């Protein structure tokens, strides 16, 4: 296992340590100012990283020692522990212009659990099987912890995603690009984020060589651990799963789908309340992810957490949970 795991570890360690843009560094400094000594690491990821731009909203994950140390507010501590992460919006006037970011706060222990195959949601490992940067880390221990989570995200993507590829046999043959396209599409859908095939393909095309290496190193690590058998047929992988594993994994994924969508909705509403003006944000997110504009009455707009649930539920039932 050591050599195979070392290949995957080397990939994510090198990737995470690459320089981040100045905009990410300035925002990370402000995030650290907000949450103080509790911050162990700040990780930059997402579309702005992929597109090499600071136009738009930059995405971060902030890893903290514990929620008690990260917040003065008892409410923020409680909701972060009950349903991590908490998500905040940050706008910063800087020497290079106005910068905007969205950042999620998770404890180190919650972050490690969220990248395992048994995690109740796919959103965390689906993000960190993709390229990311550690903008700031307290020490080598924090860096190693983030690298371990990134490596686990890749192996989790493979363990979860391979059984979801087309077919029924426990011997699964596939191209690497096809694997990533299908797995990313499944995770976007599971998080109520229907994206076009072109958008999903653009994630892969932003770093095809990297995704190829990540899949190969991850497959070799899983094979060395006895999780599967791997052979190569030209450029295609031929994976043999344990008997019945594919059927069981597919059923489990489908069975959890509705629960994931409900959890996502609750998380969206909870996270939106941590924004300064949260209602336009959540309406925009729902319209973007379901294709349906949510019309609210004056009463629903004045008291959305009391009266708007019915409108939100109708959109999800009619559009996304069909």
- Position 321 scores a pLDDT of 39
Reply yes or no on domain 2-255 having CATH 3.30.460.10.
yes
Instruction: List phi, psi (to 5°) of 84.
Output: -75, 150
Instruction: List phi, psi (to 5°) of 277.
Output: -120, 85
Q: Is 296 exposed, middle or buried (0-12, 13-18, 19+ CB in 10 A)?
A: middle
Q: Which of 155, 210, 208, 163 is nearest to 182 (CA)?
A: 163
**3-class secondary structure, 89:** strand
- Position 104 scores a pLDDT of 94
- Alpha-carbon torsion (115, 28, 76, 46), positive or negative: negative
Instruction: List phi, psi (to 5°) of 97.
Output: 115, -175
What's the pTM?
Answer: 0.85
**3-class secondary structure, 41:** strand
- Position 285 scores a pLDDT of 62
Cα distance between residue 178 and residue 284, in whole Å: 31
Cα distance between residue 155 and residue 191, in whole Å: 19
Long-range pairs, 36-39, Cβ under 8 A, ≥24: 36/69, 36/70, 37/69, 38/64, 38/65, 38/66, 38/69, 38/70, 39/63, 39/64, 39/70, 39/136, 39/138
Instruction: List phi, psi (to 5°) of 96.
Output: -105, 15
On whether the CB atoms of residues 46 and 58 are closer than 8 A, the answer is: yes
> Any residues with CB less than 8 A from the CB of 314 and at least 6 apart, and which?
none
Cα distance between residue 135 and residue 145, in whole Å: 14
- Position 322 scores a pLDDT of 33
Domain spans, the chain: 2-255, 257-320
Which segments of 172-207 does DSSP mark as H helices, in order? 176-190, 197-205
Mean pLDDT by 10 residues, the chain (322 residues): 71 97 97 97 96 91 97 93 91 92 95 92 93 98 98 97 93 96 89 72 94 97 95 96 90 79 75 65 64 77 69 64 36
**CA 313 to each of CA 121, 272, 278, 316: distance values in angstroms, whole numbers, following the listed order:** 20, 16, 18, 5
Instruction: List phi, psi (to 5°) of 137.
Output: -140, 145
- Position 320 scores a pLDDT of 45
Cα distance between residue 282 and residue 202, in whole Å: 25
- Position 191 scores a pLDDT of 74
Count of C-beta atoms within a 10 Å radius of residue 95: 6
- Position 59 scores a pLDDT of 96
Q: Is 93 exposed, middle or buried (0-12, 13-18, 19+ CB in 10 A)?
A: exposed
**CA 293 to each of CA 43, 148, 194, 301, 314: distance values in angstroms, whole numbers, following the listed order:** 33, 40, 15, 14, 11
């Amino acid at each position: 296992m050591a050599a195979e795991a070392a290949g995957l570890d080397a990939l994510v360690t090198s990737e995470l340590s690459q320089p981040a843009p100045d905009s990410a560094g300035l925002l990370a400094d402000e995030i650290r100012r907000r949450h103080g000594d509790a911050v162990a690491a700040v990780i930059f990821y997402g579309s702005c990283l992929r597109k090499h731009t600071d136009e738009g909203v930059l995405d971060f994950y902030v890893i903290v020692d514990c929620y008690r140390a990260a917040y003065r507010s008892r409410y923020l501590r409680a909701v972060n522990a009950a349903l991590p992460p908490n998500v905040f919006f940050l706008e910063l006037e800087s020497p290079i212009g106005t910068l905007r970011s969205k950042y999620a706060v998770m404890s180190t222990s919650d972050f490690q659990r969220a990248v395992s195959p048994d995690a109740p949601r796919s959103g965390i490992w689906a993000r960190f099987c993709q390229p990311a940067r550690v903008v700031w880390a307290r020490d080598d221990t924090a860096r190693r912890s983030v690298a371990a989570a990134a490596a686990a995200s890749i192996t989790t993507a493979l363990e979860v995603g391979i059984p979801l590829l087309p077919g029924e046999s426990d011997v699964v043959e596939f191209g690497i690009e096809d694997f990533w396209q299908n797995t990313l599409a499944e995770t976007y859908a599971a998080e109520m984020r229907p994206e076009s095939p072109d958008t999903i393909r653009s994630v892969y095309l932003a770093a095809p060589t990297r995704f190829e290496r990540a899949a190969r190193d991850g497959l070799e690590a899983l094979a060395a651990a006895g999780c599967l058998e791997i052979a190569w047929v030209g450029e295609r992988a031929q994976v043999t799963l344990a008997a019945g594993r594919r059927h069981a994994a597919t059923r489990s994924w489908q069975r959890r789908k509705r629960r994931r969508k409900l959890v996502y909705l609750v998380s969206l509403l909870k996270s939106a309340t941590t924004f300064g003006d949260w209602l336009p944000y959540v309406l925009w997110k729902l319209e973007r992810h379901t294709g349906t504009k949510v019309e609210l009455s004056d009463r629903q707009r004045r008291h959305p957490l009391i009266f708007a649930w019915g409108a939100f539920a109708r959109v999800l039932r009619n559009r996304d949970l069909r």
